[in-house]
Amino acid sequence: MEEQQKGQSLSSLGEFALIEHLTKDFPPLHAETKVGVGDDAAVLQPPEGEQMVVTTDILLEGIHFNLTYTSLVHLGYKSVVVNLSDVYAMNARPTAITVTIGVSQRFRVEQLEDLYKGIRIACREFGVDLVGGDTSASLTGLTISVTAIGFAKPEALCYRSGAKVNELICVTGNLGAAYCGLRILELETRVFAKQPTVQPKLEGYEFVIGRLLRPRPRQDAYQQFAAAGIKPSAMMDISDGLSSELLHICKDSHVGCRIYPERLPIDQETYRVAEELHLDPLFVAMNGGEDYELLFTVPAEYNQKMDDMGVSVIGYTTAYEQGAVLVTSEGKEYTIDAHGWQAFKEESFTENPKEA
């Protein structure tokens, strides 16, 4: 952090000048944004006949991210897109965000410019407005809280509670890469701590590291649903691990599920890296988390449409009494347990953070 002592101090600007400086390059993009940054509160006009969707996440240094291997540009970008992912998981269209940061004096204005550069990239890439937020001094490192706001017709909204028996269970993209990327970066960080002159060996891990540091919310799937006239019966994003999210949908929809491991979409690099790290690729795909793919259910007649969309059908829903089960190609059945991220388990308070 020695290089972070160079540059302009935060105290040289003060709170209000700092906010104005950091948010000056965020012109409004949406007609819904009547008043954005600069007043006591933002003013948004919901489109006629639509309802508002609101979600928020807090990211804490040392818990959700490690600045040893996470650039502030990447962190700013990721802090936005993980919230947009929740809006897309409601089958809604995100239009605005607020950003609140707590920051210690070890940071300089230039570092916060990098953070807001990442925020600005995400806002422009996904077409959302920065409409407000706050800044505060912090004694414990960097804290970021982003709130995302979106809109949707009431009949378009998807909840966790809508799945019915004998529906397809589907996931977009691929699973497990972000967790493998995290493990690689943690490994190289431990090596660097013991041997500071050793350069990290990251060649061949670009995909899994990229999935961790620069995830992409599934805006494309949201758009494909609209274009195809499909409304998932239940949906959520995969942030804490597939197993955890499956159990959420099963509980809230009062259904069971049967999942087939050979159908889980695992990228070849993820598979290779998992084996290098002596991890079971299936365990990584089921429990890794932070992939920000969409898990959803649809009626069985949409099977061909799912194939056309490039979506993986990984199983189907059953009666609640049959439980959540993983079924191997040999016909063996295993109860699905959640081994993904849990905010208040003992490991959450260690020095090995879960990325944002």
Kindly report, residue by residue over 294-311, the tens digit of the pLDDT.
Answer: 999 999 999 999 999 999
- Cα–Cα distance for residue pair 70/177, rounded to 1 Å: 16
User: Cα angle vertex 71, ends 66, 75, to 5°?
Assistant: 75
For the segment 269-278, what is each residue's pLDDT rounded down to a tens digit?
999 999 999 9
**Domain extent for 264:** 167-347
In a shared domain, residues 127 and 212: no
In a shared domain, residues 137 and 93: yes
Q: Which residue has the tokens 């028996």?
A: 165
In a shared domain, residues 221 and 183: yes
Which residue from 257, 280, 259, 260 is spatially nearest to 270, judged by alpha carbons? 280
CA distance to 88, 245, 265, per residue, from 334 (Å): 31, 17, 19
Phi, psi of 139 (to 5 degrees): -100, -5
The pLDDT, as a whole number, for residue 209 is 96
In a shared domain, residues 340 and 261: yes
In a shared domain, residues 115 and 203: no
In a shared domain, residues 215 and 113: no
In a shared domain, residues 124 and 268: no
Q: Please report whether residue 355 resides in a domain.
A: no
pLDDT at 199 over 60: yes
Which residue from 326, 330, 354, 356 is spatially nearest to 340, judged by alpha carbons? 354
At which of 100, 122, 156 does a domain end? 156
Task: At 206, list the tokens.
Answer: 């670009």
In a shared domain, residues 148 and 179: no
What CATH number does residue 214 fall under?
Answer: 3.90.650.10
In a shared domain, residues 225 and 331: yes
Q: CB neighbours (10 Å) of residue 30?
A: 19
In a shared domain, residues 120 and 205: no
Q: Is the overall model pTM greater than 0.85, yes or no?
A: yes
State mean pLDDT over 26-51: 74
The pLDDT, as a whole number, for residue 108 is 85
Instruction: Spell out where 227-323 has E strands.
Output: 234-237, 255-259, 294-298, 312-319
Q: Please report whether residue 303 resides in a domain.
A: yes
Which helix or strand (DSSP H or E) is residue 132 part of? strand 129-137
pLDDT bracket for residue 14 (50, 70, 90): low
What CATH number does residue 112 fall under?
Answer: 3.30.1330.10
In a shared domain, residues 59 and 133: yes
The pLDDT, as a whole number, for residue 341 is 43
pLDDT bracket for residue 229 (50, 70, 90): very high
pLDDT bracket for residue 62 (50, 70, 90): confident
State mean pLDDT over 218-245: 95
In a shared domain, residues 151 and 175: no
For the segment 74-125, what is each residue's pLDDT rounded down to a tens digit?
999 999 999 999 999 999 999 999 999 998 888 888 899 999 999 999 999 9
The pLDDT, as a whole number, for residue 68 is 86
Q: Please report whether residue 261 resides in a domain.
A: yes
Least confident of 107-116, 131-140, 181-190: 131-140
At which of 156, 176, 202 does a domain end? 156
Number of domains in the chain: 2
